Structure 1
Amino acid sequence: MILTDINKAQYRHRLNRVIIACIVVLTVSALSISTALIYFFSDGSETHFMLNLTGVVLGGGLVLQLLRHFRTHPYMHEIMYVWDLKQELNLINRRLRKVQQAAQQGNYHAMLALHFSYQGSQQLWQLDDNTITLDDLRPLMNELDKLAQQFNYELKTDAYSRDMLKEF
């Protein structure tokens, strides 16, 4: 994955619209499906909890299918970029201890993974206006820069690949 700059205002605007659309589709579909199920499969004497739950589950499935279908639409570019970035950062965080240990020993791929993680986290937190956490990230970035200088490595986020994590 390559880090790219995205327009924060456009990302937030589109994300909010997609969230609202998902809520509307889920609400309308869940109520419609539940009502239809109750009409066709209920005699009115029992509770409708399972039929309502089925409507909600099917409505949720519909929302997921719509999101999957429109994933590649240009309107979803920023939203899917952030989604993919979060998944990539999660993969690195699952192996963070081993990656940090390998970086301390001079492993270039580990340093690249940490560099990508720090840069990606910085971008993500800026998009989410999470400026308090950014202060905790700066010392880690400085420490990694010193470590890279010690081993004469040049760290670029473009050089990172998910396959590098297989080592750890």
Structure 2
Amino acid sequence: MQLKKIDKARYRKHLNQVIVASIALLAIGSLGIAQLLIALFPDPSGTHFHWNLTGVIITCIAMFIGFNKIKHHEFMHEVYYVWRLKQSLNLITRKLKKVRAAADQNDVSAMQVLHYYYQGCRQLWQLDDNTITMEELSIWQAKLDVKADELNIQLNTTEFDPEILKSF
């Protein structure tokens, strides 16, 4: 996945709308389905937990299918991009210790992965206004840049390929 410029205001607006729509759909859908099931199949004991749970599960499945169908719509562009970015960074995070160890041993692939990881984290944290650890990220990036200069390596985020992670 390649890093792209994202309009933060548009991303935040669309993300908030997706969150509100999700909450509303989950509440209305699960309650509506549960009430329908309770009306169709009343329980003489008065407990309807299983119908309420069924309503939530059916609504979640319907929402998953619906969001999966609209994920490529222009409205979802930024939200879907950030979702994929988070997935990509999560894959790296799981192997970060090994990747950093390999980068310390001058592994160029590991250095490219770290460069992508740092740039992706920077973008994600700026989009989500999570700038608390941005200073620490800058230190990590500076150390990586020094190492790359020492080895005369050009780091580029376009060089990242998730398949590289399989070797770590």
TM-score normalised per structure 1: 0.97
Q: How far apart, in 1, do the equivalents of 2:76 and 2:163 lie?
A: 26
For each residue in 1:101-134, what CA deviation from the matched residue of structure 2 results, as whole angstroms up to 9, or x when unmatched? 1111111110000000000000000001111110
How far has the Cα of 1:45 moved from its partner? Answer: 3.5
1:11 alignment counterpart: 11
CA shift, 1:12, in A, is 0.2
Give, in whole Å, the separation in 2 of the partners of 1:100 and 1:141: 12
Per the normalisation by structure 2, the TM-score is 0.97
1:83, CA displacement in angstroms? 0.4
Are 2:71 and 1:71 equivalent residues in the alignment? yes
**Which position in structure 1 is the counterpart of 2:28?**
28
The residue number in structure 1 matching 2:2 is 2
1:144 maps onto 2:144 in alignment? yes
Paired-residue identity, %: 46
**1:122 is matched with which residue?**
122
> Within 5 Å, which residues of 2 pair with 1:15-164?
15-164=15-164
d(CA) in 1 for partners of 2:117, 2:160: 10
Q: Provide the secondary structure at the position in 2 that maps to 1:131.
A: coil
CA apart distance, 1:28: 1.2
Aligned length: 168
Cα RMSD after superposing both structures:
0.9
How far residue 4 of structure 1 moved from its aligned partner, in angstroms, is 0.5
Task: Give the distance between the partners of 1:43 and 1:19, measured in 2 at CA.
Answer: 34
Partners of 2:77 and 2:46 lie apart in 1 by 46
Q: Which amino acid aligns with 2:13?
A: H
Using the TM superposition, give the Cα deviation of residue 62 of structure 1 relative to its aligned residue in structure 2, in angstroms. Answer: 1.3
SS at match of 1:39: helix
Q: Distance in 2 between matches of 1:78 and 1:119?
A: 17
Which residues of structure 2 form unaligned runs of 5+?
A: none
Q: What is the SS of the residue equivalent to 2:132? A: helix
